[in-house]
Chains A and B, each alone.
Chain A
Amino acid sequence: AQSVSQHNHHVILSEAASLELGCNYSYGGTVNLFWYVQYPGQHLQLLLKYFSGDPLVKGIKGFEAEFIKSKFSFNLRKPSVQWSDTAEYFCAVGGYNQGGKLIFGQGTELSVKP
């Protein structure tokens, strides 16, 4: 069965620190990969996505993610976080021929201290 694992449940950083959130998935075939963010009191928003091509994808607000196929990973990065990045981050995977189903990780809560 497909699954998505996010290694960190809660990350606390100071402003200007660098961020890397891990995401690993289990699925043997071709995948589409997503990172979503949920700011306090708001709904899930798309940060970035990978479908094909350059494995380094850039998203909104300075976020980027790298797809490493051999490691089944899609880690999210940001060089310098801001207080406004405080939110919950979800990694999601959609496998080919899986009927459009997204499998989500458990989420990582990021707290940025001013």
Chain B
Amino acid sequence: DAGVTQSPTHLIKTRGQQVTLRCSPKSGHDTVSWYQQALGQGPQFIFQYYEEEERQRGNFPDRFSGHQYPNYSSELNVNALLLGDSALYLCASSWTSDLTSTDTQYFGPGTRLTVL
């Protein structure tokens, strides 16, 4: 049973460019959440996708956008990259059993983005 997979593993971009990160959820999961983890910090919630719609969003600018496909896989897009966007981007998947609570999230290995 494959866990959460993410691609690419590493990425180097320059300021102003755009990037797309990809995530495939764990088998049986229908919900994907994205987090940004800066060095030495805990992950920060970017947004969550459920039923192909953004269910909840953290405190991130509109430059961060996402998409979820019918097969539950997801993309994170970041436009107009800034140096401060350099971080590890984590994808987590879960099965939404109750829209009022927070289900257990399982994390992928992450994509390390470096902005020069």
Contact = CB atoms under 8 A, between A and B. Distances in A.
Interface of A: 4, 30, 32, 34, 36, 42-46, 49, 51, 90, 92, 94-107
Contact of B56 (A32, A96, A100, A104): A100
B44 A32 contact: no
A102 B90 contact: no
> How many B residues are at the interface, by size bracket?
20 to 34
A33 to B, nearest CB: 9
Contacts, number: 72
Interface of B: 31, 33, 35, 40-45, 48, 50, 55-56, 58, 90, 92, 94, 96, 100-110
B42 A32 contact: no
A4 to B, nearest CB: 8
A32 B90 contact: no
Contacts of B110: 43
12 contacts: A4-B42, A32-B103, A34-B104, A43-B110, A99-B48, A100-B31, A102-B33, A102-B35, A102-B45, A102-B105, A103-B45, A107-B40
A102 to B, nearest CB: 6
